[in-house]
Amino acid sequence: MLSERMQKAINDQINAELYSSYMYAAMSMYFQSVDMSGAAGWMNAQAKEELVHAEKFMNYVNERGGRVTLQAIEKPPSEWKSVLDTFEAALKHEQKVSSMINSLVTLARDEKDHMTDNFLQWYVAEQVEEEASAAEVVRKLKLIGDSGGGMFMIDNELGRRGLVPETSSGE
């Protein structure tokens, strides 16, 4: 059985994952509006992954006999200054989510809740990937600078992500 405190913390994390999905959907729509269809596809794939993250938490709470309570999702921004600005915001967001996951692990350890600690390790590993993939795009965008040709190429590259079917283990 989850403690009240852990249940509340996971419910808050479910809200954060749903916000992530909403924010990436907003980024996808922004990229559509500036004709970056590849980047829009990348963000759309990311938005879907975040729903999987939220759902995994929901299933876990239910498996442990807890109660999921959904909360209001904050309104995400709808405009960014540039493609780089958008990916920098995504990276900053993922760093924040990583620190939230770390806090959950700390709580699980404080409570000697080994089941939750073990469950959370999937998210710990996932956050390494989440930060690395956003950071890689940020680095490439900085290299490209104002080059129109470079932007065209990176948009094509980002678009390939949306074409790769998601696997159950590849969230």
Assess 97 for contact with ligand OFO (CB under 6 A).
Answer: yes
**Considering beta carbons, is residue 27 or 97 the nearer one to ligand OFO?**
97
Assess 86 for contact with ligand OFO (CB under 6 A).
Answer: no
Assess 131 for contact with ligand OFO (CB under 6 A).
Answer: no
Q: How far is CA 32 from CA 38, 42, 79, 86, in A?
A: 9, 11, 12, 13
The full 3-state SS of the chain, as one line of letters, equals: CCCHHHHHHHHHHHHHHHHHHHHHHHHHHHHHHCCCHHHHHHHHHHHHHHHHHHHHHHHHHHHCCCCCCCCCCCCCCCCCCCHHHHHHHHHHHHHHHHHHHHHHHHHHHHCCCHHHHHHHHHHHHHHHHHHHHHHHHHHHHHHHCCCHHHHHHHHHHHHHHHHCCCCCCCC
Assess 50 for contact with ligand OFO (CB under 6 A).
Answer: yes
| 171: amino acid identity, one letter | E
With CB under 6 A as the contact rule, the residue among 88, 113, 130, 155 that binds ligand OFO is 130
Please say whether the beta carbons of 54 and 14 come within 8 A.
Answer: yes
With CB under 6 A as the contact rule, the residue among 88, 94, 113, 155 that binds ligand OFO is 94
**Considering beta carbons, is residue 53 or 113 the nearer one to ligand OFO?**
53
Tell me how far, at minimum, the Cβ of 54 lies from ligand OFO, in Å. Answer: 8
**Considering beta carbons, is residue 9 or 151 the nearer one to ligand OFO?**
9
In the region spanning residues 16 to 45, those forming contacts with ligand OFO, defined by CB under 6 A, are 17, 20
* Residues in binding contact with ligand OFO, number by CB under 6 A: 7
Assess 15 for contact with ligand OFO (CB under 6 A).
Answer: no
| Minimal CB distance residue for ligand OFO | 20
**Considering beta carbons, is residue 43 or 141 the nearer one to ligand OFO?**
43
Q: Which stretches of the chain bind ligand OFO, using CB under 6 A?
A: 17, 20, 50, 53, 94, 97, 130
